[in-house]
Structure 1
Amino acid sequence: MSQTIAIVTGSSRGLGDALASQLATQVNQLITVARTDNAQLQELARQQNCQHVHYRADLADPVQINAVAQDIFSQLDLSASQYILINNAGTLGPVGQYNVLGHEKALDIASAFNLNVNSIIMLTSAFLTATRHTGADIRVINISSGAGRAPTPGWGVYCATKAALDMYTRVVKQEAPHARLVSLAPGVIDTGMQKQIRELDLNHFPNRSRFTQLHEKGELSNPEQLAHQILNYLHRDDFGQTEIDDIRHYS
């Protein structure tokens, strides 16, 4: 029987929660990684007869990244016909225009790169290595951002991490012909991160008004609807042909 195993990071809230919840109704096994548990997701998976395994981990911590990668992929069932990895966990990181001096800022920057870049590199590497000889259909979505493709004042760290993620995806596409990979910009989503953006100091983030207006006009994407779009995109026959993509091209 054809079986699909899906892995989603950042599954406790927002887009990650929506993606994991919808996948729980579609796949045989769902593996999630987040700092907190998601009891509703666990119950949904049980109702759908989907085996759900959750790993509590802070993917901004290199030690925990390595530990969770070893735990997941040392136990991965290699008999499935399809494997999906959605690297969704991410952070805005420190915000400010060029003045990022100081020990505390240095730690914040390192934490943002660990979560937005290093965790994805390590998990994707372990995932592709584990599934390399399965002959299965292997698909990876790295949730990126338009901020990695166009500069935004105040978001130097965030833009840099997402640009790094895009380039990493392009490189791995050449290195791993047995897999299909896409670095996908999801647009502007109505999540906790957006609330954080609307509360930023104008001196640090002069573009704040744009995001405030999007919220006031009701132009933010709904996480559940967006997750549905992304999963439809994931299952397209031409998935992976364009490794740097934007879901708004398909709406």
Structure 2
Amino acid sequence: MEASTVAIVTGASRGLGKALATSLLKPGTHLISIARSENAELTQQASVSGAVLEQMCADLSDPLAAQACADSIALQLPRHAQRYVLINNAGTVEPISQAGDLSDASAIARAFNLNVTSAIVLIAAFLRAAPATSDRRILNISSGAGRNPTPGWGVYCATKAALDHYTQVLDAEHHGVRVASLAPGVIDTGMQAKIRSSDPSQFPNVQRFAQMHEHGQLSTPAAIAEKILRYIAHDSFGTTVLDDIRNHA
């Protein structure tokens, strides 16, 4: 039986990406998950749910690996589904440093490659491969940091601002695809653990994030994943190109 929905999720082995992938594993769905390593739980979930799961292993911070992954999708994406969804979720908050200490060009390049470049090349592959006659939807996972300057997050803010602006360009080009760049709120993931372990001299807001964790104010990945998938499936998706999940029930 051919799938009615083909979905691609990056950063799918943990955190929000894993929660999105898990929620997408339903009958009639062909899920392509992209992460640095395979996830055994997703494999087990797929066998129980009856969904088709294809796990692609790639380090998207490596431009060559991201290109190879995109090329593979362009060649092998199933062509007969009704709906195609791409969720660019993979990302990193590192390096976390004040401007005067952002001296590791390789670390900065890795962040831009993962947060921006990989999304751009995957979107290009998606536009080439997903039939123009189908319902095509692209969601880029952004951050409030791309819209509000945050000391210590110069690289993260810059990458998310770039992703936001790229999404606006994509929308302006009128490819017959619905697109949005979404801030998902503060989620209890490994990224948050890294943030809480930051040096206060480099990231002055660290205490705020520690208190949010302490007071149970972080959303769970599963709860946000369900909200995001309802948001993508809604008829109004793409009406607001720069959006925030907190604007939606």
Tell me if both proteins adopt one fold, taking TM over 0.5 as the criterion: yes
Structure 1, residues 116-160: CA drift from partner, whole Å, max 9, x if none? 000000001110121253x00000110000000000000000000
Q: For residues 84 and 201 of structure 1, do their structure 2 counterparts lie closer, same or farther at Cα, with a shift above 3 Å needed?
A: same
**In structure 2, do the counterparts of structure 1 residues 183 and 101 end up closer, same or farther at CA, with 3 Å as the change threshold?**
closer
The 3-state SS of whatever aligns with 1:205 is coil
Matched, 1:74 2:72: no
CA distance in 2, matches of 1:101, 1:194: 21
The correspondence of residues 186-205 of structure 1 with structure 2, limited to 5 A, is: 186-205=184-203
Identity of aligned residues (%): 53
Partner of 2:100: 99
Compared CA separation, residues 29 and 139, structure 1 to 2 (3 A): same
SS in 1 for 2:99: coil
Unaligned runs of 5+ in 2: none
1:123-138 map, 5 Å: 123-133=122-132, 135-138=133-136
Aligned residue number for residue 112 of structure 1:
111
Most deviating of 174-183 and 15-24? 174-183
- What residue in structure 2 maps to residue 56 of structure 1? 57
- In the alignment, which residue of structure 2 is the partner of 1:232? 230
- The runs of at least 4 consecutive aligned structure 1 residues that moved more than 6 Å come to none
Q: Distance in 1 between matches of 2:90 and 2:28?
A: 20
Distance 1:192 1:39 in 2: 18
Decide whether the 8 Å contact of 2:98 with 2:153 is kept in 1.
yes
Q: Is the 8 A contact 1:100 1:106 kept in 2?
A: no
Aligned length in residues: 248
* Equivalence map 1:26-37=2 (5 Å): 27-37=28-38
Aligned to 2:172, which of 163, 171, 174?
174
Distance 1:27 1:119 in 2: 27
| 1:176-210 superposed Cα distances (whole Å, 9 cap, x missing partner) | 33100010000000001101111100000001111
Q: Decide whether the 8 Å contact of 1:6 with 1:27 is kept in 2.
A: no
In 1, the alpha carbon distance for the partners of 2:3 and 2:176 equals 18
TM-score in terms of structure 1 length? 0.96
Determine the C-alpha separation between the residues in 1 that align with 2:154 and 2:46: 39
Note if 1:90 corresponds to 2:88: no
The answer to whether the Cα contact below 8 Å between 2:141 and 2:182 also exists between their aligned partners in 1 is yes
Q: CA RMSD in A?
A: 1.2
Q: 1:215 matched to which residue of 2?
A: 213
Work out the CA distance in 2 between the residues paired with 1:229 and 1:125. Answer: 26
Report the equivalent of 1:24. Answer: 25
Partners of 1:94 and 1:159 in 2: how far apart? 11
2:158 is matched with: 160
- Give yes or no for contact 1:91–1:112 (8 Å, CA) kept in 2: yes
Amino acid at match of 1:39: A
Amino acid at match of 2:128: T
Tell me, yes or no, if the aligned pair for 2:3 and 2:28 is still in contact at 8 Å.
Answer: no
Contact 2:94–2:156 under 8 Å retained in 1: yes
CA contact (8 A) 2:7 2:86 kept: yes
Distance, in Å, in 2 between the alignment partners of 1:82 and 1:96 is 41
